[in-house]
Structures are given as structure tokens and as C-alpha cells.
């Protein structure tokens, strides 16, 4: 996930983008040739100032026996430069959850889902706008957040983690959370036992049992399934079912991350009977019409467009859900989504990656914003393989090498050409902070204080000179007859297009040409069978947001290991889009997977962060808050950075 949060279309906002860009670019580019440092401001403070409303804040709890925490860095040799650049240590300030205009947040002792509805149904239709439309309803073959969010209306995990949790704290299909105290969690980290709730039924009326959990595991680890959630299950040796309501997971080696399998968004359980119909993994019924245990069932699904949900009459809670139906509409872009929630055409609009002035329009119209820390880090991925050379019919094959990015001096130069501070301030506002880290700032235990980064075109030029890339008469650098012309891709989005233009201007001053080839979000975050998909990465550079999705980042960091390289042979299902391969990094992740001590795990996770950052595998830019818009009287949306937005959809309702 690794989440790929992190995700074209014509937009009303795009019509104004050139004018807005004309105003913003002078500010963003004023420091070209000089230096500006990345800094971080607590997100909740910025949010409260922007919305003009008293923001409720909740900080993640820092007390858990098996919590992931923070640690030291793997340094890299400092490259010579002609001028010292101002740089700052990445801020360790924790961004707090900030909500406005009536959002309820989980408080100590309260049900994190919010107050239960008083009766099932009667709420009419809930109109959701996910401008990146779902393409599949099977969470385990998802390629983006939109698919996880849609499938979660139907599919459920054993447990999940609320905003205040560092390990699962909300049972879903499980009776309780395993612990050493109740005897369900082995003290040596070798196994965990889950007790399932009694009487749970699938939407078709058949009984849910431990056999469904076992069947889900077998499906996930089957190579033919090409599942994207596999990293959460690689340390599982076996899943045993002593009886219908007991699941015992035995690990290959002792693990502190016992909760990765079957919890939160990567842990949803699929029906054994429906999986038995999967003769072809690409056309399984579970992909488009899953039978689930959740509060809703699918009425109709048009990929890349719309999903209609109706109440699952067999849902185990008699007084939930509140809404009779859900209309989940896709399409447009973040700007049109913001406009829709402002006008009241949508009750809830997801992922409002728009400029600060548009966010202010939403609150000025009396609507609410949910700002959630841990939304992921907007980053640039560098392709270590060659997108222009075919090896056995495969572009960006891990057997090929990118002509630009094998040299760490070049990769470091790219980092100097990104003005994180200006991008965060002018294009994100309360929605994000400049960052030097690939890990979000929450939980605070894994927030590295070791990394530095800065914007300095002069240093970038010096590094490129040192690396042997020489400017030609046309201003473009070349080496050994190869011109430094990169292809750059992201999802079609007004903010991201502005980011690209800012970066392109700096590239031009450094003698690097950039050819922008963006793709519709549904394609970019879609299946790897499309050459423009981010997983295929048939470009030199691409940009999107990604997040661990859970407080412990073990599976997230596994996404940069050699075993996770996305390629044709695994259906581009691996999370290592960069095709980065380093035995030292692989060993670091292997060490993390074996470590049980919380403090040592903290140190190892920070080392993983620092290794990726200091080796310039990815270029982190903005530590994003999740930003969603909603009608002011829609309550219990209660976002958490550790699960999808729809995790508690059964409890969403209108304020009385």
C-alpha cells in the first residue's frame, strides 16, 4: 500500500487554472536559483485558521504494547555544491485531526463509530461523490482508495483501527480484540486467535464462518489471484479453523504486526462459496457483485461510473444502517466534487485535492470539511527501469536500467528541484504540510527527525555538472549522446497539474526537459493491463499520494523490496512501482519483520524511511491531510487515517 492514495477530465476549475497559475507561479518560483527549506506547521492549526470555525482535534494515542514507533537514519554522502542551501530537519510535530461544521469525532470511552441509529432505514438515499470512480469491488485486487471505499460498503474485516488507535480497537466480525490478557495473542508473537461473532450472515442469508476467512486467505496468497493486499499476508504460515467461530493464524516468524492480516481495508473477508466460482481470477463474480456481511449490498455497478447500494436485510445490527440506499457517483475531478458539495448536489465528496481558496468556498457556503491526519505523502517516484526499452516485450522491465536515475547524484539533484514549501503553502493550505519524509507525521513515534531537504536550483545544477550531464545549445543536458528528457505522469487533477508546472519550471532552469503525459484517474490508478497505469510506470517519473494505511508501516516499507517489484510476470500487482532493488534495504525490512520490541521497531521504521529518502528512491513533497467535504448535518463520518472513509457507513446519519 501500501496505499496508493493514494488516484481526464474536464473541470470547471481547470478553466481558471491558467489565471490562478499565473498568480501563484511567481511566488513558487521566486526562489529559483536560491534555496528554501521544507517546514511543517501543525495541520490542525492551519485548518482552524482557514475554516474560521472552532476545530475539534484528536491526537492519536501513543500507548500500545505493539505500537510502531520512530528511529535513526541511513545517511548518504553529501554531494559537493557551489553554494550552501538552507535545509531543515523534518518536523516531528504531530498533525491533529481537525473537523468543522458539525463533524463528530471519536472521544475517549465512546463508540468510535458514533451513536447508533435508532432504527434501520428511513434516511432515504445518501449521495456520495467519489470523483475517481471505482473500477472493481474486490478490495483484494484494488488499485486505489476509491475501490477500497466502494467495496467496504459490502465487505468487512475482522476488526479495524479508529483514529485514536495504534492497533485494532474496533471489533467488526470478531467478538473482541485479541490480547495476551485474554489468551488470544501469543506472547512470543507466533500466533493470534480470533473469535468470531455468532449469528453473522452473508447477504444471501447463508452463515458466515471461519471457513470463509480461510478461503479468503487461500485466495489472497494464490499467485493467480494477483492480489494487491498480499504484503499484509506474506508472514502468515497457516490459517486454521478449529471450529466455525475460531480462526487461528500462525506466523512464519514471530511478529509484532500480528494484526495486519484480516483487519482494516486490506483485511475484508470474502465469501467462500462465491470464491469457489472464481475459475478465472480476472472475471470473478466477487469483483463486480460481491456477497458480503456489511450493511449494504450491490444493486448495480458500472465500473468507472456509478455504484448503487441497497440495505442488506441480513445485516446483523437491527437498527442499522440509517440510509435506505447509497448512490456512489464517480467522475469529474476534485474541483467539480468541491463545487457539487458546495451547491448541495452531493452529501459527501471525497478527496478534495483543491487549492485553499476553493476549500474556503465550501466552508463559506456553510458546508463541513473533514481534515484527517495521515492522509499520505504526495511524492515523486523515480523509475529505476527504462520505460523506452523493451525486454521480452515488456517496457520498464526490471531487467533494464533507466539512463538517468542510476546515478544518486542525479536523483539528489531532482530532490533539490522540488519547492515543497511553496507547493504545500500555495496549493494545499490546510490540506497539507511540506515534508522531507516518506512516512506521514502520524503516529508520532515513526516521525523521523533525521532527514533534510531544500529547494536549490544552483545545487541541482552543480550536481548534474558533477554527474557529467552537460547543457547543450538548446539548454537541455546530455550525456553519452542521451538527452535529459523525462516523461512525467500523474492523475488528471487541477492541483497536480499545477505541481507539475512548478516542477517543470525548475527542471528547465536545471537543463532537464519534461514531457507531461497525464492519465485519467480511473486509468492511472486502475489495473496494470493499461500502459498508462501507475503500476506499469512506463514513464520516467510519476506522482501520487501513498500511505501505510495502518499505524505500523511494515507492509508499507515492504513495498520497496525486490520481491515486490511490479512487472508483467506478476500482473504488475507488486507495490514496488519504482523497480528499486537494494539488498541492504531488503535486509533492513527483513529485520523489521522479525523485531518484536516496540522501541526497536520504531527505530527500524525510521531507518526504512530514511533509507528511501536519502537514497532518493522517491521524492517526498507534501504530508497530506485527508480532505473531504460534506453537508453540515451529516454526522458520524468519523474519519480515521487507518481505514477507508466508509469504514462505519452503517452509522452515518443526519443530525436530529
Q: What is the DSSP string of 107-151?
A: -TTS-TT-SPPSSSS-S-EEEEEESS----S-GGG--SHHHHHHH
Contact (Cβ atoms closer than 8 angstroms) between residue 117 and residue 322: yes
243 assigned to some structural domain: no
Cell of 467: 554527474
Name beta bridge partners: 309: 298, 326
Q: Which region holds residue 181: left if phi is over 0, alpha if psi is between -120 and 50, else beta? A: alpha
26 contacts 502 by C-beta, under 8 angstroms: no
Contacts of 352 (CB under 8 A, 6+ apart): 334, 337, 338, 341, 358, 359, 362, 369, 431, 627, 628, 629
- pLDDT tens digits for range 454-492: 999 999 999 999 999 999 999 999 999 999 999 999 999
CATH number where 473 lies: 3.10.105.10
For the chain, the domain total comes to: 1
Bridge partner list, 193: 248
Q: What is the mean pLDDT of residues 616-623?
A: 98
- pLDDT attached to residue 587: 98
Q: Residue 514: pLDDT band by 50, 70, 90 thresholds?
A: very high
Is 360 part of any domain?
no
DSSP structural state of residue 426: I
Res 102: pLDDT: 31
Residues 29-68: pLDDT tens digits?
Answer: 332 333 344 433 333 333 333 332 322 222 222 222 222 2
d(CA 14, CA 573): 32
Within a domain: 386: yes
Determine, yes or no, domain membership for 368: no
Q: Is 348 helix (H, G, I), strand (E, B) or coil?
A: strand
Cα 591 off chain centre by: 24
Q: What is the mean pLDDT of residues 158-175?
A: 94
Q: 232-289: per-residue pLDDT in tens?
A: 999 999 999 999 999 999 999 999 889 999 999 999 999 999 999 998 877 899 999 9
* pLDDT tens-digit series, residues 359-381: 999 999 999 999 999 989 999 99
443 contacts 74 by C-beta, under 8 angstroms:
no
* Domain assignment present for 35: no
Residue environment code for 320-342, b if the CB has 16+ CB neighbours within 10 A, otherwise e: bbbbbbbbbbbbbbbbbbbbbbb
**DSSP readout, 412-425?**
HHHHHT--HHHHII
Three cell numbers, residue 309: 447500494
Burial of residue 494 (number of CB atoms within 10 Å: 0-12, 13-18, 19+): buried
pLDDT digits (tens, 9 = 90+) for 284-325: 999 999 999 999 999 999 999 999 999 999 999 999 999 999
Residue 79 has a CB neighbour count (10 Å cut-off) of 16
Q: Hey, is 499 helix, strand or coil?
A: helix
C-alpha cell at 16: 481558471
At 100-128, the pLDDT tens digits run: 333 333 334 589 999 999 999 999 999 99
pLDDT for 16 beyond 80: no
Q: What is the distance between the alpha carbons of residues 332 and 305, in angstroms, rounded to a whole number?
A: 10
Reported as type and span, the H/E element at residue 300 is strand 296-302
pTM assigned to the model: 0.73
Q: Which residue has the higher pLDDT, 3 or 628?
A: 628
416 domain-assigned: yes
Residue 630: phi and psi, rounded to 5, are -160, 160
Half-sphere exposure at residue 619, Cβ-oriented, CA atoms within 13 angstroms: 25
Distance between CA atoms of residues 197 and 405, nearest Å? 52
Helix boundaries (H) for 222-320? 272-275, 285-288
Cα separation, 103 vs 89, in Å, equals: 34
Residue 392 lies in a domain: yes
Q: Give the pLDDT score at 109.
A: 59
pLDDT tens string 379-399: 999 999 999 999 999 999 999
Tell me the CB-side half-sphere exposure of residue 107, using CA atoms within 13 A.
Answer: 4
For residue 483, is it within any domain?
yes
Alpha-carbon radius of gyration of the chain: 24
- DSSP summary character for residue 244: T
Q: Which domain holds residue 553?
A: 14-19+376-625
Q: Tell me if 493 sits within 8 A of 333, measured CB to CB.
A: yes
Instruction: Tell whether the model's pLDDT for residue 601 goes beyond 90.
Output: yes
- What's the rounded Cα separation, in Å, for the pair 597 and 368? 41
Mind giving me the DSSP string for 452-464?
Answer: EEEE-HHHHHHHH
Region of 567 on the Ramachandran plot (φ > 0 left; ψ -120 to 50 alpha; else beta): beta
User: 594: pLDDT confidence band, cut at 50, 70 and 90?
Assistant: confident
Amino acid at each position: 500500500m501500501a496505499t496508493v492514495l493514494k488516484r481526464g477530465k474536464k473541470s470547471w476549475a481547470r478553466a481558471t487554472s491558467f489565471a490562478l497559475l499565473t498568480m501563484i507561479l511567481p511566488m513558487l518560483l521566486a526562489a529559483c536559483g536560491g534555496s528554501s527549506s521544507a517546514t511543517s506547521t501543525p495541520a490542525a492549526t492551519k485548518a482552524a485558521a482557514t475554516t474560521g470555525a472552532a476545530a475539534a482535534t484528536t491526537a492519536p494515542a501513543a500507548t500500545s504494547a505493539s505500537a510502531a514507533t520512530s528511529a535513526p537514519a541511513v545517511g548518504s554522502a553529501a554531494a559537493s555544491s557551489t553554494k550552501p542551501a538552507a535545509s531543515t530537519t523534518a518536523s516531528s510535530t504531530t498533525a491533529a485531526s481537525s473537523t468543522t461544521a458539525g463533524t463528530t469525532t471519536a472521544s475517549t470511552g465512546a463508540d468510535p463509530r458514533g451513536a447508533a441509529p435508532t432504527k434501520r432505514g428511513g434516511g432515504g438515499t445518501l449521495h456520495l461523490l467519489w470523483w475517481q470512480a471505482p473500477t472493481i469491488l474486490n478490495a483484494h485486487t484494488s488499485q486505489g482508495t476509491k475501490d477500497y471505499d466502494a467495496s467496504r460498503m459490502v465487505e468487512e474485516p475482522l476488526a479495524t483501527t479508529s483514529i485514536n488507535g495504534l492497533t485494532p480497537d474496533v471489533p467488526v466480525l470478531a467478538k473482541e480484540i485479541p490480547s495476551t490478557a485474554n489468551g488470544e495473542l501469543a506472547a512470543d508473537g507466533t500466533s493470534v486467535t480470533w473469535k468470531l461473532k455468532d449469528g453473522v450472515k452473508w447477504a444471501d442469508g447463508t452463515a458466515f464462518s471461519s471457513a470463509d476467512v480461510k478461503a479468503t486467505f487461500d485466495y489472497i496468497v494464490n499467485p493467480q489471484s494477483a492480489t494487491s493486499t498480499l504484503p499484509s499476508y506474506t508472514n502468515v504460515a497457516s490459517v486454521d479453523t478449529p471450529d466455525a467461530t475460531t480462526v487461528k493464524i500462525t506466523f512464519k516468524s514471530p511478529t509484532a504486526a500480528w494484526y495486519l492480516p484480516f483487519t482494516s481495508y486490506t483485511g475484508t473477508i470474502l465469501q467462500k462459496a462465491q470464491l469457489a466460482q472464481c475459475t478465472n481470477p480476472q472475471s470473478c463474480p466477487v469483483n463486480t457483485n460481491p456477497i458480503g456481511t456489511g450493511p449494504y449490498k450491490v444493486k448495480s455497478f458500472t465500473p468507472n461510473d456509478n455504484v448503487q447500494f441497497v440495505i442488506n436485510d441480513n445485516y446483523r445490527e437491527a437498527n442499522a444502517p440509517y440510509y435506505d440506499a447509497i448512490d456512489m457517483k464517480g467522475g469529474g475531478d476534485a474541483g467539480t466534487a468541491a463545487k457539487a458539495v458546495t451547491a448541495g448536489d452531493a452529501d459527501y465528496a471525497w478527496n478534495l485535492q483543491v487549492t485553499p481558496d476553493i476549500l474556503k468556498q465550501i466552508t463559506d457556503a456553510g458546508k463541513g470539511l473533514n481534515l484527517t491526519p495521515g492522509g499520505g505523502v504526495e511524492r515523486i517516484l523515480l523509475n529505476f527501469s527504462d520505460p523506452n526499452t523493451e525486454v521480452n516485450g515488456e517496457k520498464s522491465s526490471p531487467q533494464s536500467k533507466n539512463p538517468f536515475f542510476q546515478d544518486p547524484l542525479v536523483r539528489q539533484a531532482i530532490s533539490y528541484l522540488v519547492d515543497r514549501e511553496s507547493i504545500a503553502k500555495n496549493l494545499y493550505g490546510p490540506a497539507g504540510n511540506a515534508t522531507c519524509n516518506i512516512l506521514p507525521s502520524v503516529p508520532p513515534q515513526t516521525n523521523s527527525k533525521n532527514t533534510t531537504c531544500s529547494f536549490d536550483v544552483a545545487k541541482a545544477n552543480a550536481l548534474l555538472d558533477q554527474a557529467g550531464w552537460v547543457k547543450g545549445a538548446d539548454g537541455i543536458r546530455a550525456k553519452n549522446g542521451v538527452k535529459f528528457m523525462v516523461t512525467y505522469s500523474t492523475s488528471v487533477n487541477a492541483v497536480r497539474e499545477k505541481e507539475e508546472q512548478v516542477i517543470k519550471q525548475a527542471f528547465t532552469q536545471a537543463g532537464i526537459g519534461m514531457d507531461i503525459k497525464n492519465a485519467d484517474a480511473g486509468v492511472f490508478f486502475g489495473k496494470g493491463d493499461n500502459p498508462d497505469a501507475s503500476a506499469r510506470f512506463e514513464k520516467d517519473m510519476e506522482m501520487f499520494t501513498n500511505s501505510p494505511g495502518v499505524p505500523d508501516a511494515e507492509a508499507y516499507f515492504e513495498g520497496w523490496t525486490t520481491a515486490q517489484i511490479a512487472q508483467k510476470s506478476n500482473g504488475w500487482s507488486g507495490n514496488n512501482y519504482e523497480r528499486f532493488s537494494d539488498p541492504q534495504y531488503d535486509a533492513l525490512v527483513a529485520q523489521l519483520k522479525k523485531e518484536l520490541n516496540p522501541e526497536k521497531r520504531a527505530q527500524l521504521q525510521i531507518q526504512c524511511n530514511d533509507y528511501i529518502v536519502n537514497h532518493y528512491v522517491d521524492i517526498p513533497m507534501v504530508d497530506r491531510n485527508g480532505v473531504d467535504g460534506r453537508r453540515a448535518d451529516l454526522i458520524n463520518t468519523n474519519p480515521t487515517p487507518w481505514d477507508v472513509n466508509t469504514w462505519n457507513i452503517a452509522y452515518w446519519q443526519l443530525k436530529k
